[in-house]
Amino acid sequence: MLKTNVFFDNLGVIKQGHLELNDFTLLCGANNTGKTYVMYSLYALLDQRFEANFNFVENLVKQLSQETVCKYNIQNLIGDNYGNILEEITEGINKHLPNLFGVKSDEFRQTQIKLELDINFILANITNHPWQSRVSLSNKESDWFLDIQKPENDTNVTFTIRDDKGIPRKLLTELISSNIIGLIFSTFNQKKQNCFLIPAERGGLNLFFKELSSIRNRLLHHAQKDNINPMEVLKDIVNSRYAEPISDYIEFLNDLNNTKKRKSDYQIQAQYIQKHIINGKYEIDRYGDIFFLPYKSNNKKMPLHFTSSTVKTLFSLVFYLEHLAQSGDYLMIDEPELSLHPDNQRNLARVLAKLVNNGVRVVLSTHSPYFVRELNNLIMLSKSFVKASELRERYGYEPGEYLKPEIVSAYLFDKKTIKEMEIDPNEGIIAQTFDDVINNLNQSSNDIYYASQEEEDWDNE
């Protein structure tokens, strides 16, 4: 995968820190240490939520407007302009932060996010994979105005425009720049990768998404009806906007009826959660309402608000696995352990390990020592030792759940910094932060117990 190093300066409470994305990236730390800030920033990067217009593309468009067909060596085009690409992507992400978090621009005037990308991997990847894109003014094939063609295992890329369409140069620059960004971050094919973020607020959003959407619609309706200035109401709505990952999640919930028509290749992982964690399955009715059907309930449907917190919080993950997930995706989960018993936290860790081993990259934040310890078991079981098979069978571990240490990265958010945590093949993630808390708890429990026993013994004497 593309080695992506991200550096953060003055992001929320984080003064300075950096991390490198891996197939499985874990963010650990206490409350209010900046994990969600980083999670949202990574979402903007991976989902390409920023604008970047490259200087060399402006020159390309200028030449293209004169000749209509131009051929370039893709390695030279990207390699020679790598500095400009990084600079513009970095600037685009930093400019986008206020919109990403739904706040005023001065909140991030001190913030700086920078990138380092593996240029050798990028050049090899874009050479090996085809790049085919045709942009049209409508759904009609005949209305195309920009065509990009690069065959597989070829270094030549051909740009073609139709000058009879009168497309502004600025728009062409934006479109080609956007295509190049997608190409750089694509690992498996020329398609734009999907990035699906499940926020910590998911339980409430799963219940109230329709109300949240209808409130804004009613505000606009009443503004028109009661002769209130609609622009003032619209300004109030904009000023009270949600962070983009939350808005995107609400949009996902509002589109369930369309999404449920699709089928993904990850049904088995969804079924594992249904069977081993929630003991039932979800159903979406024609109005987009969510219901739960417990197993052994004679198909009796329960509205989501009438179910356990576990059923509420796991809906979006199961639905994503059933209908949206595809190889090359980034699945991001804020606090996957929410509302889960320790046994189910372990089960969920196994599901996520299976996803990683089947092409879905995972980024998550967690406070849970149970979750981390189960990941450690999966890392330790990935190596060969005499009793490995016996232990796997005894504790019910399945093939495809084991995690090679080199595909896992873990970071500790502490003291306004981000520190890389050691991954040891013999121990897993060295999570000193959890060990310290557990040791302190054990020490205090022992002190309290023995002190009370001493006093009881004295009383008996």
Structure confidence at residue 125 (pLDDT)? 87
CA dihedral for 217, 319, 324, 28, sign (positive or negative): positive
Tokens 């708890």 sit on residue: 441
Beta-strand ranges (E) seen in 175-311 are 195-198, 280-284, 290-294, 302-303
89 CB-contact burial (10 Å; exposed 0-12 / middle 13-18 / buried 19+)? buried
| C-alpha dist (Å) from residue 116 to 2, 93, 102, 259, 302 | 10, 13, 26, 35, 49
Burial 131-151 (b: 16+ CB within 10 A, else e): bebebeeeeeeeebbbbbbbe
Q: What is the residue extent of each domain of the chain?
A: 48-193, 196-440
- φ, ψ of residue 399 in degrees (nearest 5): -60, 145
Q: Which helix (DSSP H) or strand (DSSP E) does residue 21 occupy?
A: none
Q: Can you read off the two tokens belonging to residue 408? A: 């896992």
Burial label for 259, CB within 10 Å (0-12, 13-18, 19+), is: middle
Q: What kind of fold does domain 196-440 have according to CATH?
A: Rossmann fold (3.40.50)
Note the Cα 186 to chain centre separation in Å: 15
Give the C-alpha separation, 196 to 330, whole Å. 6
Query: What is the CB neighbour count within 10 angstroms for residue 168?
Result: 9
The answer to whether residues 234 and 240 touch, using CB atoms and an 8 Å cutoff, is no
Residue 190: the pLDDT is 41
Cβ contact 120:113 at 8 Å: no
Distance (Å, whole) CA 32 – CA 13:
8
pLDDT of residue 218: 53
Separation of alpha carbons 90 and 115, rounded Å: 7
Q: Which residues contact 376 (CB under 8 A, 6 or more apart)?
A: 427, 428, 429, 431
Other CB atoms within a 10 A radius of the CB of residue 353 amount to 26
Q: Where are the beta strands (DSSP E) in 170-264?
A: 195-198
Helices 82-101, 35-46: axis angle to 10 degrees equals 130
163 by DSSP, 3-state: which?
helix
Inter-CA distances, 192 with 46, 75, 78, 185, 255, Å:
10, 20, 18, 8, 20
Output the pLDDT for position 26.
97
Q: Identity (one letter) of the amino acid at 142? A: S
Backbone conformation region of residue 113, classed left if phi is above 0, alpha if psi is from -120 to 50, else beta: beta
Could you state, in chain order, the average pLDDT of each consecutive group of 10 residues for the chain (461 residues)?
Answer: 90 96 95 95 93 93 91 94 94 95 92 94 89 84 87 93 81 92 69 84 90 61 55 51 90 95 95 96 94 87 94 97 95 96 96 97 94 94 88 90 96 95 92 71 78 69 61
* Dist. CA 340–CA 317, nearest whole Å: 14
Quote the pLDDT of residue 188.
43
